[in-house]
Amino acid sequence: MSKQNRRSFIKTLGLGTAAATAATYTPFAIGGATKKVVVVGGGMGGAVAAKYIRMMDKSVEVTLIEANKDYYTCFTSNEVLSGKRTLADIKFGYNGLKDHGINVVIDKATGIDADRKKVSTASGRSFAYDRCIVAPGVDFRYEKTPGYNENLANTSLPHAWKAGPQTQMLRDQLTDMKDGGVVAICPPPNPFRCPPGPYERASQIALYLKQNKPKSKIIILDPKPSFSKMGLFTGGWQRHYGYKTDNSMIEWHGTPKGSDDNVISDVDAKTKTVITGFNEVKADVLNIIPAQKAGKIAHVAGLTNDKGWCPVHGDTFESTIHKNIHVIGDAAIASPLPKSGYAANSEGKTVAAAIVALLNGKSAPDPTYVNTCYSVIAPGDGISVAMVYAFKGGKIVKVKGSGGLTPGKFDTKLREREQYYGYSWFDNITNDTFG
């Protein structure tokens, strides 16, 4: 499939079908009875699901429960580290959802009673539902990294894998670092939120260092043997940051399968030293991205398996553990769909359509999902990976011929377009979710 056709196809199946999907549903009012949906989590999945349920059927009473009054997008947050964006550029509120008639509750969900169909919150309130959507994002398995913990993450060694104050803290540490300093990035093991994210982070930090502290170095200690879009990233690092030369600004150290070469065995927080099976690195700025699991409320509600993630039915994302609860976004087990903002948006819309149909005594429509991940290695050098997914034979599968990867051969105009596409996508998806 050609680049243009691929992008047109994805646009049709993704953000472009929003109005068309909503138009296929009209408000139902059966005897004046209310239909209640409670959405827990106001990120890219939860917020768009709440919005699209109201767009499809205004007779549904939708309550969105979110602990924070503002949401910071994880995607593009790495550009805060390079100075290309500020936190204000990736900050969004919930007034747009209120305009759609959604009851936005800024409170922390503390429990879900699947039998009584009620969500409880930290303030002592309780919200009844007919269907519940849980979009809790990720939480962190700090115990998997000896010497690292949540307190360190919030005070001195930010992971910044939830955008917000930690992102600014990491940015400040970079600006305070002396020229010639070492930045160590320790990506997490699979699975985790945003597979290309740590490597885009390395690219954006390198961009800042190249322009401001050119004697500095980035060392990536990866517990994996390879990573998402690896060839495209390393090719870009060679073009812009001297990768694999004596003057390389970025060093990537992987871990062969079955080895512990770059798996963290200990962290000395005071000296910012990381010890692995093969390396010992003392950093000036240390960025540990911990192993991940579903957000806390999913565990409290008993929606997770023994690996810490939420099993769901791939057509409706209804939990396989508790009926009438749908889990979307990063917390759900939805492979081959990745844990990404675009995938969460797609899941949110599909689940909205399924819930509206089910609440009105109809069958859920056949789902289609879409994902594209954009990354910017340097100004004018954007890359992406895209795929469309269907539900067949009881599982989510890739649609053959629907996706694609940015060609490895560098083409200036193409890479500039990829960056432009990525920035346009950011504007469109945030408006689609919060507007």
Res. 1: pLDDT tops 80: no
**Phi/psi at 121 (5° precision):** -125, 170
Residue written as token pair 């594209």: 372
pLDDT of residue 95: 97
- Taking CA atoms, 243 is separated from 247, 350, 415, in Å, by 8, 42, 19
What CA–CA distance (Å, rounded) separates 291 from 140? 6
Note the pLDDT tens digit of each residue in 106-123: 999 999 999 999 999 999
**How much is the average pLDDT of 369-390?**
97
Structural class in CATH, domain 17-139+292-364: alpha beta
pLDDT of residue 34: 76
Res. 26: pLDDT tops 70: no
CB atoms within 10 A of CB 151: 11
Q: Where in the chain is the domain with CATH 3.50.50.60?
A: 17-139+292-364, 143-288
Residue 236 three-state SS: helix
Res. 11: pLDDT tops 90: no
- The CATH code of the domain at 143-288 is 3.50.50.60
CB atoms within 10 A of CB 130: 17
**How much is the average pLDDT of 420-431?**
97
Residue 119 near residue 129, CB atoms below 8 Å: yes
Note the pLDDT tens digit of each residue in 158-195: 999 999 999 999 999 999 999 999 999 999 999 999 99
SS (H, E, C) 368-421: EEEEEEEEEEECCEEEEEEEEEEEECCEEEECCCCCEECCCCCCHHHHHHHHHH
Which of 16-20, 75-79, 137-141, 218-222 has the weakest average pLDDT? 16-20
What CA–CA distance (Å, rounded) separates 183 from 108? 35
Question: Partners of 382 in the beta sheet?
Answer: 376
**How much is the average pLDDT of 402-412?**
95
Note the pLDDT tens digit of each residue in 276-326: 999 899 999 999 999 999 999 999 999 999 999 999 999 999 999 999 999
Among candidates 245, 174, 187, 171, which has minimal Cα distance to 219? Answer: 187
* Stated pTM of the model: 0.92
Among candidates 102, 252, 79, 84, which has minimal Cα distance to 163? Answer: 79
Q: Share the mean pLDDT of the chain.
A: 93
**How much is the average pLDDT of 252-274?**
96
Res. 7: pLDDT tops 50: no
What's the length of the chain? 435
Q: What DSSP letter does each residue of 174-227 carry, written as one string?
A: HHHSPTT-EEEEEPPPSS-S-TTHHHHHHHHHHHHHHHH-TT-EEEEE-SSS--
Give percent of the chain above pLDDT 90: 92
Residue 81 near residue 171, CB atoms below 8 Å: yes
